[in-house]
Amino acid sequence: MHKKNNSPKINWTNVIFFTVTPIIGIAGTILLCSFGMVKWQTWLFFGVYAFLTSIAMTAGYHRLFSHKAYKASFIVRFFMVMLGSAGFLGSALEFATDHRDHHRYADTEKDLYSINKGFWYAHIGWILYLDLSKRDYSNVKDLTSSALMRFQHKHFTAVATFMGFVFPMLIAALWGNALAGLIIVGCLRMVMNHHSTFFINSLCHWSGKQTYSEDLSARDNWLTALVTMGEGFHNFHHQFPLDYRNGIRYFHYDPTKWLIYGLSKIGLASHLRRVSDHKILAYQLRVEEERLKQQHQQNADFVQQKIEPLKAHMMGLIEKILRLEAELAILRNKKIEQVKEQYQTHKHQLQDYLHTIKIAQQELNESLMNWRRLKVTRV
Ligand SMILES: [Zn+2]
Ligand SMILES: [Zn+2]
């Protein structure tokens, strides 16, 4: 009988790519800085391009293509596809098929980046074992009808190489800083794109509050929202994935939501889907109610396990004290009786003594009188 080897195969292309690019990005940036080869315009471009390529992933790849949380004009979709490619995380079709499965099978064995397999597996491990032959794209048929999607998917490596490396290099070349453009705006920025996206699968399923559902590992955390363009309100997102917002309060840091809203105000986006406030509140209340019930049950269990034995012990002690007090009262009464008896005995003895003394005195008096009488007679 042959033993079947079920251990997942390592995707060596991904292992090399996701190991080498951070080394080039970080070491290259340090070297360029130490030789004074980075111009301020490059840093400014780095900040702007990092923001744009990151938000293209969240507003485009994620909320537009994967969830259809709003509709966008062609120009917006085009920029989302082009800028999203610079993140080198696959085509929008690849991202959407994986992500829709992540929502459908969240926290189960079929969840591609399940947090149940550990933080680092959910963060980057899954991509190092990614088996491309297992993707069937059956859940993204609505997207494959788009020529833009098909074009990007077919020519992804070329589009991503141009947007990720060639374009930053060409722009930085305008101020004579092409190499820094390639290393910092190209490579380092891409590594940042990778990990801010990966944080959504790891940190956002690991740390924070379960505000709308305790059945989901996804968490709401304003801190993770800061490094994921607002995707940190992930418990809300998993409960209401069709909502164009992740942070629903006006003060929630969700630049992706603000961008989509802004685009709708200038006519470049429409049909922004949002769950009604009442429905959101109903889910929130259900979680709160469940928590209160659990707390009540915990209190009842605590009473049963700790308070009841303590109460029984105390009642035993009280009974013992009462019994002792009763015994003490009996003893005290006995003592009093004894004293009374002794007193009576002594009293009688004393009366006897007094009586004896009285008789003795009478006898003495009589004797004295007799003595006097005898004396007079003799005289
Ligand atoms: Zn998730
Ligand atoms: Zn999602």
Interval 105-121: pLDDT, tens:
999 999 999 999 999 99
Contacts of 156 (CB under 8 A, 6+ apart): 85, 90, 91, 94
Q: If pLDDT is split at 50, 70 and 90, which confidence band does 3 have?
A: very low
Element (H, E) at 323: helix 308-378
Averaged pLDDT for residues 128-157? 94
Ligand 2 center to residue 102 CA distance, Å? 8
Which-ligand-closest: CA of 95? 2
Tracing tokens 């009642």 back to the chain, one arrives at: 315
Kindly indicate the confidence band of residue 2, based on its pLDDT and cuts at 50, 70 and 90.
very low
Percent of the chain with pLDDT over 90: 70
pLDDT at 103: 96
Centre of ligand 2 from the C-alpha of residue 103, in Å: 6
Compute the distance from residue 58 Cα to the ligand 2 centre, in Å: 9
Distance 289 CA to ligand 2 centre (A): 26
**Separation between Cα atoms, residue 214 and residue 211, nearest integer Å:** 7
Point out the ligand nearest to the CA of residue 201. 1
Tell me the one-letter amino acid at 28.
G
Cα 21 to averaged position of ligand 2 atoms, centre (Å) = 26
Single-letter amino acid, residue 49 = Y
Distance 103 CA to ligand 1 centre (A): 7
Q: Output the six-digit token pair for 311.
A: 């109460």
Domain ranges within the chain, ordered by starting residue: 12-275
Q: How far apart are CA 25 and CA 186, in angstroms?
A: 8
For residue 253, the CA-to-ligand 2 centroid distance in Å is: 17
Distance from the alpha carbon of residue 220 to the mean position of ligand 2, in angstroms: 13
Looking at all shown ligands, the one closest to residue 115's CA atom is: 1
350 Cα–ligand 2 center, Å: 109
Query: How many whole angstroms from 216 Cα to the centroid of ligand 2?
Result: 13
Helix axes 40-55, 255-265, angle to 10 degrees: 80
Distance 202 CA to ligand 2 centre (A): 13
Whole-number Å distance, alpha carbon 65 to ligand 1 midpoint, is 15
Which ligand gives the minimal distance to the CA of 199?
Answer: 1
Query: How far, in Å, from the CA of 225 to the mean position of ligand 2?
Result: 14
101 Cα–ligand 2 center, Å: 10
Ligand 1: distance of its center to the CA of 230 in Å?
13
For the question of whether the overall pTM of this predicted structure is more than 0.85, the answer is no
- 186 CA from centroid of ligand 2 (Å): 26
| 175 DSSP 8-state letter | T
CA–centroid distance, residue 80 to ligand 1 (Å): 21
Q: What is the pLDDT of residues 201-240, one digit of tens each?
A: 999 999 999 999 999 999 999 989 998 999 999 999 999 9
**Alpha carbon distance 329, 203 (integer Å):** 71
Q: What is the pLDDT of residue 321?
A: 83
CA 67 – ligand 2 centroid, Å: 7
Distance 123 CA to ligand 1 centre (A): 11
Ligand with smallest separation from the Cα of 244: 2
* Among the listed residues 227, 175, 149, 139, the one whose alpha carbon sits nearest the alpha carbon of residue 44: 175
Residue 4 has pLDDT above 70, yes or no: no
Give the gyration radius of the chain's Cα atoms.
46
pLDDT score for 344: 84
